[in-house]
Amino acid sequence: MSESLRNLSTIEYGASPKEIRSNDSTSIGIYGTGGLVGSATKPLFHGPLVVVARKGTLDKPLFITGDCWVIDTAYAVLPNANVDAKWLYYNLLKFDLKKLNESTGVPSISRDYLYRVTFETFPLSEQRKIARILSTVDAVIEKTEAAIAKYKAIKSGMMRDLFTRGIDLKTQKLRPSYEYAPELYKQSELGWVPKEWEVVKIGELASMKSGEGIISNSIFDYARYPVYGGNGLRGFTTEYTHDGNYFLIGRQGALCGNVNRVMGKFYASEHAVVVSVLDQISVDWLSQLLAVMNLNQYSEASAQPGLAVSKILSLIIKKPQFNEQKEIAKHLLSIDSKARIENKILYKYQQLKSALMFDLLTGIVRVKVSEP
């Protein structure tokens, strides 16, 4: 049986937190359309409840367990006595709240429209079990996201050290910094660098060539050769433009400067610059280095930003010897590999959550309360 939100809850307006905002952290959070925005000295509502945007970002409801303050650009959805708050949150999360937008300017939802939304309802015991199942998947997703963030932070720190200090090939450890071992370094136009390193232009290490135009109807799902643009894989085609060991740099638009590693036979579209390294240069090392150099700052100003390849080729960088390049790349690729595994796990559980929400919240699959 379907019931409207009017029969399942009470929807209250938020209020300005101006008078109750605390400079210190308290247990009473202030919540808006984007999440936690501060702390309050007293609550406006007592949880559990769901925060739904009244204006702004409409499709990101929040589940709040305790006392809170909801600001005046959001609603507090307070579940009735026979309604589980977490189950109600998942229903609102599943529903496309943007469909309720009634404004041509800043997106907004009227309370009357929100009250009209209907959900398939179940006994309270079933609601609670559905909420527990989905919460379990959410816990795995949060744990996986935390692991991805950890690897991202580790790699960021590693890059900073590896691209300035490198690896001592004798000890296979990070070279001591200049402050602790100045005898291992020499002065250069880029500051202190390890004695074994050189300072060179990127154009001395690699060549760059723009990809070729491809019409959209020549890209197929079933063809053999991948087509790469500025944002990675775009599809497949029946021909290829390159065969070997390369990396690509996004050439146009918002992804200008984005770096993607590619191997084998592929088609490079006009939205990418193909980078080919010279002998005794590690393609993995150079691609990792350029990935952190914020290359989009070298785009040429126009209505459609385009990468200034000549500027990139003239940039000066610190170059280790070939064997050290490979060691640096090996460490970074190891972190990338672990992050990829976590991203695959994340995608798997996101898909599982989506499927479970559809099946359980619509009643296509009914849960048995007696089963664990």
Dump pLDDT digits (tens) for 159-209.
999 999 999 999 999 999 999 999 999 999 999 999 999 999 999 999 999
pTM score, whole prediction: 0.83
214 has a pLDDT exceeding 90: no
- For residues 263 and 243, what is the distance between their CA atoms, to the nearest angstrom? 7
In the chain, where are the structural domains located? Answer: 2-120, 122-169+322-372, 204-290
- For residues 221 and 34, what is the distance between their CA atoms, to the nearest angstrom? 37
Lowest-confidence segment of 171-175, 253-257, 328-332 by average pLDDT: 253-257
CATH 3.90.220.20, applies to 204-290: yes
Which residues, in sequence order, are bridge partners of residue 30? 38, 69
Lowest-confidence segment of 36-45, 93-102, 323-332 by average pLDDT: 93-102
DSSP string of 250-284? E-BGGGTT-EEEEEEEEEEBTTEEEEEEPTT--HH
Query: Domain spanning 2-120: which superfamily?
Result: DNA methylase specificity domains (3.90.220.20)
Fold of the domain built from segment(s) 122-169+322-372: Helix Hairpins (1.10.287)
Asked if domains 122-169+322-372 and 204-290 share a fold, the reply is: no
- DSSP for residue 121: -
